[in-house]
A and B are shown apart, each in its own frame.
Chain A
Amino acid sequence: DTGVSQDPRHKITKRGQNVTFRCDPISEHNRLYWYRQTLGQGPEFLTYFQNEAQLEKSRLLSDRFSAERPKGSFSTLEIQRTEQGDSAMYLCASSLGSVGTEAFFGQGTRLTVV
């Protein structure tokens, strides 16, 4: 399968714990996005990378959130000191990054903070 892969699919954590999610994009894609989706909402942009460079971070991304994409391949999203409001589906997507290309999404990581 050469699609976007996310791990884990589900994560349940206690409030205050740190969690880390991984995304493996489609291999030739140089752009990688992180989105968050809550019930009844569309995917909300968090951040994106062009190769290993993080180009933009949303105001939604508090200081407790950090994302990396070492060597421009896979990416990790870490949430420190999780809060119940962090419970959501975290979606990763990748694209070729040129004008007018669509992004392909992974199946997401569902985070539940208890």
Chain B
Amino acid sequence: DQQVKQNSPSLSVQEGRISILNCDYTNSMFDYFLWYKKYPAEGPTFLISISSIKDKNEDGRFTVFLNKSAKHLSLHIVPSQPGDSAVYFCAASVWRDDKIIFGKGTRLHILP
């Protein structure tokens, strides 16, 4: 069963506009959430994270929002840049368990 779901396999956004990537989860025990970015032929690179005690975390152009009641989180990238074109993975973990569970990813295309 897929505990972390990214329902959009791909997303195209104009350069300079906002990119919004969505993620849903089913395990209410998850208390730490992460976003990773992956380029072809490379391992995933950590981007930003959020603890379940927060509802927003911001780092430069990247902001992650967490809605615990809806079991939903989103990653906002603004403004979008060509180098943001990559696959983005949503991931989550449980404190005591600590292994990280990944979604299937969303491929983001930034259009010139």
Q: Which residues of A are interface residues toward B (Cβ below 8 A)?
A: 4, 31, 33, 35, 40-45, 48, 56, 91, 93, 97, 99-100, 102-108
Interface residues of B (CB under 8 A from A): 4, 6, 9, 32, 34, 36, 41-46, 49, 51, 89, 91, 95, 97-105
The answer to whether A33 touches B99 (Cβ under 8 A) is yes
Is B102 a contact partner of A103 (Cβ separation < 8 A)?
A: no
CB <8 Å contact, A107 and B43: yes
Q: How far is the CA of A92 from the CA of B62 in the complex (A)?
A: 25
CB distance from A8 to the nearest CB of B (A): 14
Interface pair A102/B34, CB less than 8 Å apart: yes
Pairs across A and B, CB under 8 Å, 19 listed: A31-B98, A35-B102, A42-B4, A42-B89, A45-B100, A45-B101, A45-B102, A56-B97, A93-B43, A97-B98, A99-B32, A99-B98, A103-B46, A105-B36, A105-B43, A105-B44, A105-B45, A107-B41, A108-B42
How distant is the Cα of A69 from the Cα of B88 in the complex, in angstroms?
30
Label chain A's interface by main secondary structure. Answer: loop
Q: Report A-chain residues with C-beta under 8 Å of the C-beta of B36.
A: 105
Q: How far is the CA of A104 from the CA of B95 in the complex (A)?
A: 17
Interfacial chain A residues near B101, Cβ < 8 Å: 45
Contacts of A99 in B (CB 8 A): 32, 95, 98
A40 to chain B, nearest CB (A): 7
